[in-house]
Structure 1
């Protein structure tokens, strides 16, 4: 089912579709983050990926809770956006020989994923409220806050040392 298909007829249909999309995305990131941590050479970056892996596993559990609250079977649907972000990150990482530059590239890839997630969670929260599901919105807000915090940490790490090391 594509985003703009006749299968989505109501705001609730759209809400469920995007829940399934972000559920798939979070599962893909659970698989990608350990590989990113393994490739990272800067210790804070490596640890940051592992910390966010634990958070991401929590995001999956929260999404499962939302599915249960709305009475929908837990399932993900293919998300070409996150697949593309991860594919691009893997391709770029494979092309970078300089480890300092690799760390900068990994941060860039991680922020692309974070920004995707931030946009999805923001919409889901707005839609949940519109649908009268403030209970779901409050759960999703916790995840959105963690995604924003991770993005800020990545920016701080990039601007504080990683980009400087990569440029020298």
Structure 2
């Protein structure tokens, strides 16, 4: 499909983001099981709850704009990031080193999501989709907060244990 305008680009990115969030909902329980630090396990479980809400929000975004439907597209970027995290799990033993790696893998995902939601917010604003922009901005704020929490967990706890 050739993308001809900003609206079609918005639909494409929204559809890829929906795929990405659904992939994350499947990956986070695995990451929680692989983690050793109780605070990291809790962070992954909390983010799973948030991510499920973000999937619902994406539906609200689509509903807020006339004639927009989320398409069934695969987000290959997220698939690769998740695969990289799985490879890290397999290459490490349970403990602080794996936890430090898991935080890094999770932050790669967060940074991808921050870029994606930032782009979607900008496009929604440009297209005059005010309600969609506000919904997307709420998720963008959550993604930035999750990234900050992971940084704090790494600096104050996990990375020191990893030695």
The TM-score by the shorter chain falls in which range? over 0.9
Q: CA deviation at 1:97?
A: 2.0
Equivalent residue number for residue 145 of structure 1:
141
Give the alignment's Cα RMSD to 1 decimal: 1.0
Equivalent residue number for residue 38 of structure 1:
33
TM-score (ref. length: structure 2): 0.96
Q: Structure 1, unaligned stretches of length 5 or more? A: 2-6
Conserved? CA contact 1:41–1:100, under 8 Å: yes
Report 1:1-168 matches (<5 A).
Answer: 1=1, 7-70=2-65, 71-97=67-93, 99-167=95-163
Give the distance between the partners of 1:23 and 1:97, measured in 2 at CA.
32
Equivalent residue number for residue 4 of structure 1:
none
SS at match of 2:69: coil
Q: Structure 2, unaligned stretches of length 5 or more? A: none
How many pairs were matched up? 162
TM-score (ref. length: structure 1): 0.94
Give the distance between the partners of 1:8 and 1:147, measured in 2 at CA.
27
Q: CA deviation at 1:139?
A: 0.4
